[in-house]
Amino acid sequence: MDNMTGLLDAGVFQERLEEELKRAARFQRPLALLVASWSHQGPQAFDRRTVKSYGPIRKLSTIIKKGLRDVDAAGRMDGEILAAVLPETDLAGARIVAERICREAENYEFPGESLDDLIKLTVNVAIVAHPEHGADAQVLIAEARVALERAQHDGYGLVYEGERPIVS
């Protein structure tokens, strides 16, 4: 368990993702991976010196947990990147979850340098799916990270899908 977020730590999350991928492959069922982080652009650009403590990462973990089902699992991949594995979920379903996370995050303000300084942050989310983007955990994670980097570059409050579908 990650102490800061209350989510699965990176190692346990990776194991869970691998288990769910095996199950999805065995039963030929869909599975989605969602990766989220605070936007680094936006109405108020993200600045670690401006945002106090780890409030935003904790709040994002709460927002993600709130939007998941009992069968889903969320974890902290590293730093400020959180993820969720969504069994029995295709890309359309993952997009709904991702858009909900983005909307929820827009409702929060975080303390800045002073008590009077409140900062609004937005979230970018990347989604990939099995089997469309791959059957291996490392491939899905890599594809999700690329999509998240594109979203971080392009703006704020975005949901991006992985680009590299696997052709059978």
Q: What CATH number is given for 10-161 in this structure?
A: 3.30.70.270
C-beta pairs of 64-68 under 8 Å, 24+ apart in sequence: 64/7, 64/36, 64/101, 65/6, 65/7, 66/104, 67/97, 67/100, 67/101, 67/104, 68/97
Give Cα separations from 124 to 24, 39, 61, 65, 108 (angstroms).
26, 6, 14, 16, 15
For residue 124, what are the β-bridge partners? 37
pTM of this prediction? 0.85
Tokens 């199950």 -> residue: 23
Task: Give residue limits of the domains in the chain.
Answer: 10-161
The one-digit pLDDT tens for each residue of the chain (168 residues) are 988 889 999 999 999 999 999 999 999 999 999 999 987 544 445 454 445 556 778 888 998 999 899 999 999 998 889 999 999 999 999 999 999 999 988 887 766 666 666 777 788 999 999 999 988 999 999 999 999 999 988 888 889 999 865 443
